[in-house]
Amino acid sequence: RTTPSLSTEPSFRQHCAVDPMLATPGPLPRGPEWAFEVKFDGIRLLADTRSGRTRLWSRNGRDLTRAFPELAALRRATPGGAVLDGELIAGNARPPTLQALATRINRTTADASLQRTCPVVYMVFDVLEVQGRDMTDRPFDERHALLTDLLDDSATWHVSDVFDDGAALWEATASAGMEGVVSKRRTSVYRPGVRSPDWIKTVHRSATDVVIIGWRPEAGGRQRVGSLTVAVPSPGGLQYAGSVGSGLTGHLSEALLAVLPSIARTDPPVGLPDGVDPSIRWVDPVLVAAVDHLGTTRDGRLRQAAISALRPDVTVADLADDQPTDFPRTGPA
């Protein structure tokens, strides 16, 4: 087992030289100028086959090539080389969830047994370069048409479907328990590293990424994490958001215990309200986790929160503008 990565590898900039374009949270738009895709609950993944082998990169530049060897064959599927963008999801979960990927995203390698018990599928939704041609300045419709011609579906990757009727897709994804819908302006270019209003993400459930700032061991003497103390971004910096105990499986606890002692600190990294448990063991705010919840209380604490997965693919810096701090549930406008 490996611990969550705490830094971005500089080789990402040297080899891939692009940051993924990001979507803006908001209500579902309407009109023929928009295309609609399923928002999958997984991890963002860039695939680069230009060197004659497949290199895989997370959103924050973590090299995931060895973690997902199933995608090595992408190099043969993209003669001349390409840079692809998409979402890696659990292949045996219905609906696919980030939690179902937990046994894969915290490891740096995957043997044949792990590949069988936790298969993955790469849902490819964009192409940034193909056979030496930069495609980022081409409109979305053109890029997706090229992607469809370039890449044949396989058991391990699929080209994401595009729909014209956003309202119908919203209802269908809700019925299927999917995360939501991503709307893309058909004329939009690919803007690396930019959170653009030309891409809008609309979700069915309250879910967010939080920063781990402390923890408590499980009662009873077992070597397990009993709860995490978390914070969320706010205009003034990180803001205390309460504690989360639900969802802390043995696997997550093991991964956390491998790294939490190394980032321990004596004082809380954020301001605290009165009455916070004094036995919390504080840590530097460098780890990110995904949380499902039922919104927030008036004082900003998460309601009925449950940890779904660690997010070694996301840094604390990524969260500053990643989602609104009031966690709205948004649907069709």
Q: Are the CB atoms for 54 and 5 separated by under 8 Å?
A: no
Residues paired with 47 in a beta bridge: 56, 84
Pairwise CA distance, residues 195 & 201, whole Å? 11
Q: Are the CB atoms for 35 and 184 separated by under 8 Å?
A: yes
What are the two backbone dihedrals, phi and then psi, of residue 18, each rounded to the nearest 5 degrees?
A: -155, 140
> Which residues are known to be catalytic?
39
Closest CA to 192 of 59, 97, 301: 59
Distance of CA 204 to the CA centre of its chain: 16
Q: Are the CB atoms for 209 and 290 separated by under 8 Å?
A: yes
Angle at 304 between CA 251 and CA 172, to 5 degrees: 85
Q: Are the CB atoms for 28 and 134 separated by under 8 Å?
A: no
